[in-house]
Amino acid sequence: MLGILANTSSDRIDAVFRDGQTGIDVSPVRAFAFTPHVPIFINGNGGFTNASGVVSGSGEESDPYIIERWDINASAASGIDIRNASVHFVIRACYIHDGLSNLTFGIYLLNCTNGMVHTNTCSRNAEGIRLGQSSRSNNVVNNTCTNNRYVLGGVVRGAGIYVTSAKDNTIIDNVFGSGNGICIFLVASSGNKVVTNTCDRERGIFLDSSNNNTVTDNIGSLGLSSSSNNTISGNDIRGGWKRGMNLYVSNGNLIENNLINGGLEGLRLDASNGNTIRNNDLDGGLPLWLERSSGNTISDNHCISDYSSVGIVLSVSSENNNLDGNVLTLTTDGVGILVMDSDNTSIINNNCSYNGYIGVYLSNSSDNVLISNTMCFNSYYGMYIEMGSRNLISNNTFIGNNGATGTYNASHIQAFDTGTGNWWNGTDERGNYWSDWTKPDSDMNGIVDVPYSLDGSAAAKDFYPLTNPVTKPIYTMVLGRGWNVISLPLVEHGYLASTLGLNPGDMVSRWNSTTRSYQTHIVGIPVNDFPVNPNTGYWINVPNGTRTLTLYGSLPTITQSRTITVPRGGGWELIGFTGFNTTRHASDIPAMYSSPGSITIVSYWNTSKKAYTNWLSIIPTVNDFVLVPGQGYEIFCTASGLLSYEP
């Protein structure tokens, strides 16, 4: 048995997941009436008999063999062990437990097809459920697995569900409490679907040498090792104190529309090439980190955080990557994009604004192309180049970085260059837009007549500075499954509920504080449509998966205001804020209101937790959360008034 359980990839697992027992507290036993039974062993189609634990059925698809409602102590042998079976069978509503003493499994299928394993509870086994070699087209549904783990050689092993050398199985709607070695572990398995499972934050789902699987709409951390061409989408990937998701020597995977968060790192790629990472909402100390990873496409991801240090990091010879359309705002001494010891990357159409330090930082990196990016209001430089050469920087927009205003000041230059031979102009003789350097333009050709000088020992110049911004701000946000509260951070576009880019069946609701009622538009049904205006919050319901909204417009440049009318005695209103400013907190909202002392509650809805965080004016230092662009907020006002602020 120990030979079967040998884990050849434990070192790689521990590189992704730490030994922890935090997780979802679930009851170990379902509310069924169980009958004690000895462990069940069936070998071949002829082994399905009443004597072996079958209670009914003929093995046909319309009348499968049923094994149900047994209470099995697995300390002597695996609780239900079925091998070499092709008939249709169902294992349901069983309680299988205590296999740890002999390192046995709860349920074990070897070379089986057409099995259905559902609504069982597997607890305190070496593995809760194992699909062994050549098992295919089985369904593992709605089971509860807790405390299936053991330590061998100082290494945590075991799993809630373990799939090895198996293909085309479906693992769906299972729940994993605390204490599993790993919740779902696929080894050398392909074509499997892992869907809507609720896993542990630290040791969730792991794929080792497994290709062409689909992992969607799950909750929990996720890791891939030597696994390629998998689809990872719509998951809520949060990794506790360490990391949310890790790829190690894993190529060609599609990672899209996920919520990814980790205490130290959100998503890390190590020696992983040719992956597509798009439309994800990223957070963590380092939301996205590439090391020795090349040829990846990273597009339309969103990272806004008040504690991350760098949004996207390319390091240790991560070459030929493409970064396109990402939004990166990290307020606390943060850098939007850091390219370190890495060459030949395209950085195009990204928005790195309102970072607490620098928008884009290149260190010892050469032959990179940076075109049509927006860098606004970063605390230090919009772009900083250190020890790099032959980088091309053109058609970018620099606004208000390093304290720059609309008037040039040599103490507030917006970019820095200590490299060699970097080009701050394109081959089309167009440079970049600098908000503090827009004239003179005597021949009206859109090029400022005098070069813009940068800080740094390279004495670099933009010889063809532009008189107008090149890029129109784009903002993306990822919506989780269920209700979300959003607002528009950009102005001058004119969205309707029907034109936000949602899917048919999604719902958009707006609140009328006077009538105290909602108006709801269901996407795809041409009724109850309405404008979606800046400075207002809206509820959006996503019935399944996630949605990525890509919003277009302009950054506001004038004071924003909105009249709020509530009934006598007060009422609730949904608000939002334009711009990418992330220095404001909930406690700042009352000072924006024309009726002093009237705003007493500010509420933030957390889609993942499905819970509110409330700031109260009577205890202003508690729950004083950061106001995030794109997020909507509910406020309680005791009187009508005017909400106004500088964007």
Whether 168 and 198 share a structural domain: yes
Question: Does residue 311 lie within any of the structural domains?
Answer: yes
pLDDT in tens, 493-509: 889 999 999 999 999 99
Question: 549 and 587: one domain?
Answer: yes
Domain end call among 170, 205, 220: 220
| Final residue before a domain boundary, out of 452, 471, 490 | 471
Range of the domain at 325: 256-471
More confident of the two residues 555 and 566? 566
In a domain, 238, yes or no: no
- Per the model's pLDDT, the better-predicted residue between 440 and 469 turns out to be 440
Is 370 in the same domain as 330? Answer: yes
Q: In 480-524, at which residue ranges do the beta strands (DSSP E only) sit? A: 482-486, 495-496, 507-512, 517-522
User: Residues 31, 100: one domain?
Assistant: yes
pLDDT at 29 over 70: no
The mean pLDDT of the chain is 90
Position 263 scores a pLDDT of 75
Assigned token pair, 491: 């102005």
The answer to whether residue 228 sits within a structural domain is: no
Examine residue 267 and state whether it is found in any structural domain, yes or no: yes
517: β partners: 512
Kindly state whether residue 225 falls inside one of the protein's structural domains: no
Residues 465, 577 within the same domain: no
Q: Is residue 16 within a helix (H) or strand (E), and if so which, with residue range? A: helix 10-16
Q: How long, in residues, is the chain? A: 647
In a domain, 170, yes or no: yes
What Å distances lie between residue 189 and 105, 142, 213, 471, CA to CA?
19, 21, 8, 45
Residue at token pair 């979802």: 24
**Cα dist. 428→347, 398, 464, 468, 502 in Å?**
18, 19, 10, 16, 38
Most confident of 128-142, 341-355, 538-552, 625-639: 128-142
pLDDT of residue 22: 30
**Please, are residues 431 and 450 in contact by the beta-carbon 8 Å criterion?**
no
533-553 mean pLDDT: 88
**Residue 423 in domain:** yes
Answer yes or no: are the C-beta atoms of 537 and 628 closer than 8 Å.
no
Distance CA 163, CA 472 (A): 48
Number of domains in the chain: 3
In a domain, residue 575? The reply is yes
Q: Are residues 461 and 499 in the same domain?
A: no
* Same domain? 273 vs 204: no
Residues 377 and 510 in one domain: no
Please give the span between the terminal C-alpha atoms of the chain, in angstroms, as a whole number. Answer: 65
pTM of the entire predicted model:
0.76
470, pLDDT greater than 70: yes
Query: Can you read off the two tokens belonging to residue 646?
Result: 């500088």
Cα–Cα dist 134/337, whole Å: 45
Q: What percent of the chain has pLDDT over 90?
A: 74
**Statement to judge: residues 513 and 619 lie in one domain:** yes
pLDDT at 10: 34
Is residue 452 located within the same domain as residue 485? no
Tokens encoding 247: 């790829």
Same domain, 349 and 421: yes
Q: Is the domain of 490 the same as that of 417? A: no
Q: Note whether 454 and 460 are within 8 A (CB).
A: yes
**CA–CA dist 224, 241 (Å, integer):** 19
Give the pairing type, strands 599-606 and 611-616.
Answer: antiparallel
Q: Assess contact for 218 and 236: CB atoms under 8 A.
A: yes
What letter represents residue 121's amino acid?
Answer: T
Spatial separation of the C-alpha atoms in residues 89 and 413, rounded to whole Å: 72
> Of 471, 506, 532, which residue constitutes the final position of a domain?
471
Q: Which two tokens stand for residue 186?
A: 């696929």
**What is the four-CA torsion angle of 37, 43, 48, 51, rounded to 10 degrees?**
-40
Tell me what the mean pLDDT of segment 57-86 comes to. 97
